[in-house]
Structure 1
Amino acid sequence: MQSTSRFRFMKSRHVARITALHATMNDFQYDRHAHEEYALGVTLAGRQDFFSNGEFHRSPPGSVITLHPDEVHDGHAGGGDALDYVMLYIHPDELDPLIANAMGVQGLQATRLAPTLMKDVPLRDEIIALSRMIEEQETSQIEQEYALYRIAAHLAERAGNFAPNERARRPDSLLERAKDFIHENARYDISLDDISHSANISKYHFLRTFRTQYGITPHQYVLNCRVNAARRHLENGESVMEAALCCGFSDLSHFNRRFKRIYGMTPRQYQAHIFT
């Protein structure tokens, strides 16, 4: 099969901390990783196969994918055809207040808003519409803000009717403490002893339970945190080398490989997309 993998990232010029991705892929596979943002996507053509929330999913055309912040997932084209999809990455600071307002509450308390994979035509259309607004960069601020509000309102309605699967694992407080330590110290050369000590659990218990809980090894999670932090530096206009060194990558080639496995392109290519 001829390679047709293409990735186009665009940041909204009107609403802070929203990025749209339009991707076509058949020969690329994302490593397991997590984002700091909500990821709301729609499969346009082909089939998207991915692991998330402890389960394997197959997303046919028209399906809506909802990934919550820090939710580990991977992804690749399934079924032999090229995959075409859009994804909105929306920071919780942008989306959570809108959802809370629509729900009539003061704040979201670790609420799971919707199933990972679902059929929802209105939400599908709203995600596609905002993605196109950002990609084409021809709409006004009020249009994009209203489109985001419509998505938030729909998710709020979904959250009121959604009962999470009882099999979904509740976060372990000690492991959450370990994750917080990783986030705060990922740029340093931290060890398993450092991380497990921060959570007051044995290294071996930590190793065993972390992957069971999150579907990713501690080492992979540290690298993931470094890549996410480096992406922020790139979006602030810092050089690839500065971003790598600030976030714990001493080897630029290693940074390039890790970044591409998550975003489908090199850091320099990503920066070129963002500032186009």
Structure 2
Amino acid sequence: MEKFIYKNRIGITTLSAKIEKFAYKKHAHEEYALGVTLNGIQKYSLEGSSLKSYRNDVMLFNPEELHDGQAGSKEESLDYVMLYIKPKLFLEAIGEKEIVKFSSSIVYNEKLKQDIINLSSTILYEKDEALCNELLLNIVDNFTSKDFTLDYKKETLLVKRAKEMIYYELDDVLNLDEISKQLNLSKFQFIRIFKANTGVTPYQFFLNCKLIHAKKYLELTKDIYATIVEYGFTDLSHFNRHFKRVYGVTAYKYLLSLF
């Protein structure tokens, strides 16, 4: 049985999940994500590398890192918790101003594991925000400067410009002809170059960005149909289909979990 429970507090979203056959479509988050595999095996690709997280392992994801995910064993379900922490909040907590990157993707650290579980439980049970802030500090205090690198993903100017152009089209359909024309490329050249630099096609990037912003808009307005209109989804079925592939639940169920 698949189970996804989301809760949000102090700018942190917690996910408690149990999956057997469900597989996440390749996507990225704008937040830092820290998680613990509680049972089973988490199998996923991250920026082109195949990884497995076993019980009690801590998973660390940087903002905009492409990944998918599924249970890595047919014999047992995968249970895990994740914390999605907004970059501004995370950087403030660790005392950095510029975006940093985790040096490792999977670590075994008993204290860090327990600190992540403690904050996840506190958010899931909607306890005091002051306690949440203190528990976040407990988490970041596990890291030292050697656990981060400033050598963040470098992109070509062409890809940066293309991303900016795609961002402007999130409430519409992706116009490959117009973007490639402005970049003095054929649309097929553009697709190849973009995928070689990012690991996804322009359409996959466009759809992932659309879902990230639609999720934020949904959290703000609590209005599914306004979100559908704002971000140009055809209808509720179309929105839910894409939303569930990335977040495991329909937009309506996600919205209910926020209350």
Is the structural similarity TM-score above 0.5? Answer: yes
**What is the Cα-based RMSD across aligned positions, in Å?**
2.1
Which deviates more, 127-136 or 235-244? 235-244
- Whether contact under 8 Å (1:66, 1:115) holds in the other structure is yes
Gaps of 5+ in 2: none
Q: What is the DSSP-based 3-state SS (H/G/I as helix, E as strand, rest coil) of the residue aligned with 1:185?
A: coil
The letter for the 2-side match of 1:217 is T
Partners of 2:210 and 2:124 lie apart in 1 by 27
Partners of 1:121 and 1:171 lie apart in 2 by 35
Number of aligned residues: 258
Once the two structures are TM-superposed, the CA of residue 41 in structure 1 deviates from its matched residue by: 0.7
Once the two structures are TM-superposed, the CA of residue 162 in structure 1 deviates from its matched residue by: 5.0
Partners of 2:3 and 2:183 lie apart in 1 by 41
Residue 173 of structure 2 is matched in structure 1 by: 189
- Whether contact under 8 Å (2:102, 2:147) holds in the other structure is no
Match of 2:125 among 136, 140, 145: 136
Residue 7 of structure 1 is matched in structure 2 by: 4
- Whether contact under 8 Å (1:181, 1:198) holds in the other structure is no
- Whether contact under 8 Å (2:104, 2:147) holds in the other structure is no
Given the superposition, is the C-alpha separation of residues 94 and 196 from structure 1 closer, same or farther in structure 2, using an over 3 Å criterion?
farther
Residue 100 of structure 2 is matched in structure 1 by: 111
Once the two structures are TM-superposed, the CA of residue 141 in structure 1 deviates from its matched residue by: 2.4
Given the superposition, is the C-alpha separation of residues 10 and 199 from structure 1 closer, same or farther in structure 2, using an over 3 Å criterion?
farther
Partners of 1:196 and 1:128 lie apart in 2 by 46
Structure 2 residue 53 is matched with structure 1 residue 59: yes
The letter for the 2-side match of 1:213 is N
Residue 160 of structure 1 is matched in structure 2 by: 146
Match of 2:135 among 125, 144, 147: 147
Q: What is the DSSP-based 3-state SS (H/G/I as helix, E as strand, rest coil) of the residue aligned with 1:40?
A: strand
Once the two structures are TM-superposed, the CA of residue 131 in structure 1 deviates from its matched residue by: 0.4
- Whether contact under 8 Å (1:48, 1:83) holds in the other structure is yes
Once the two structures are TM-superposed, the CA of residue 48 in structure 1 deviates from its matched residue by: 0.4
TM-score, normalized by length of structure 1? 0.86
Structure 2 residue 85 is matched with structure 1 residue 90: yes
Once the two structures are TM-superposed, the CA of residue 120 in structure 1 deviates from its matched residue by: 2.1
Given the superposition, is the C-alpha separation of residues 169 and 68 from structure 1 closer, same or farther in structure 2, using an over 3 Å criterion?
closer
Residue 239 of structure 2 is matched in structure 1 by: 255
Q: Deviations over 1:129-153 (max 9, x none)?
A: 1101101123x32221111122233
Structure 2 residue 12 is matched with structure 1 residue 18: yes
TM-score, normalized by length of structure 2? 0.91
Partners of 1:74 and 1:253 lie apart in 2 by 22
Partners of 1:235 and 1:247 lie apart in 2 by 14
Residue 27 of structure 1 is matched in structure 2 by: 21
The letter for the 2-side match of 1:127 is I
Given the superposition, is the C-alpha separation of residues 121 and 266 from structure 1 closer, same or farther in structure 2, using an over 3 Å criterion?
same
Once the two structures are TM-superposed, the CA of residue 163 in structure 1 deviates from its matched residue by: 6.2
Partners of 2:239 and 2:59 lie apart in 1 by 28
Once the two structures are TM-superposed, the CA of residue 251 in structure 1 deviates from its matched residue by: 2.7
Residue 211 of structure 1 is matched in structure 2 by: 195
Partners of 1:220 and 1:271 lie apart in 2 by 24
